[in-house]
Amino acid sequence: MKPQELFKVEGYGVIVTGGASGLGLGYAEALAENGAQVTILDVDSSRVDQETQRLGNLGYAVRGEVVDVRDHAAIDRAFDAALAAHGRLDVVFANAGIDPGPGFVGSWVGAERPRNPAGALESYTDERWNRVIDINLNGIFATLRAGARLMRPQRSGRMIVTTSVAAYQCEPAIGAAYMTAKAGAAHLMRSVALELAAYQITVNAIAPGFFATNIGGGHAKQPQVQEAMSKAIPMHRVGFPDDMKGLALFLASPASSYITGQQISIDGGWTLGVAD
């Protein structure tokens, strides 16, 4: 099969949660740029309007809806609307997530990372813990469930979950709730992959390392933070949403048709250790 056929997603119906910024927007762009019909779901109404208009002006088939993934009934309605609009549902990116707040160590900048009392276990409120779990894990569950409801009868589909290298490696600067949610999402992905494999529905995960997105209140976009992190990453640079596009297209396309239940790290070698 020729490469253009292996990676062909033209006409596909695609849903991306958290698709109005960051990695989710990168996924949406990657599929739209290759001819897919994309629905962006996001809680930020202004960003949804801005990005759907921008991408539409470029000639791409993109629509958007304002959806909070904590509202599971709203997710179901949005999936039904996307299916009606596109006429098919081929790919779901379960991506929406939030900033977890501080971990028990402080700034990413510099060699020293002092303890941060605000991120200590005993400082965690129930409200903070539950909000992170509700969006970053329960929202993934509701998204995968909605995708399975529509994909199982057609016996085809691709679902891709955004996890994190923090799903399997402790990162004390980002908070316990985030690591717990991402680890749970990774194992949920595997469980759903096993259940749906007989229906030719693949379910995989993308596990990003350090990317310059709005996570952490935009902390990762600060030049001094990127400079410090680049010293710890073997490729000596941080990631950007465009770095995700190739993997997103691969997992959404026929090229990955025999891959399921896998979590693929994309981190510039960060989890390998410090090389230089």
Two tokens, residue 45: 């109404």
Residue 208 and residue 66: Cα distance in Å, rounded? 25
**Tokens 């640079």 — which residue?**
237
Two tokens, residue 59: 């000639």
**Tokens 């229906």 — which residue?**
199
Task: Give the β-pairing of 13-17 and 91-94.
Answer: parallel
DSSP state of 117: G
Given 12, 60, 178, 199, which residue is catalytic?
178
Residue 124 annotated among the catalytic residues of the structure: no
Is residue 23 within 8 A of residue 67, CB to CB? The reply is: no
Nearby residues of 85 by Cβ (< 8 Å), 6 or more positions away: 37, 39, 63
Residues forming the active site: 178
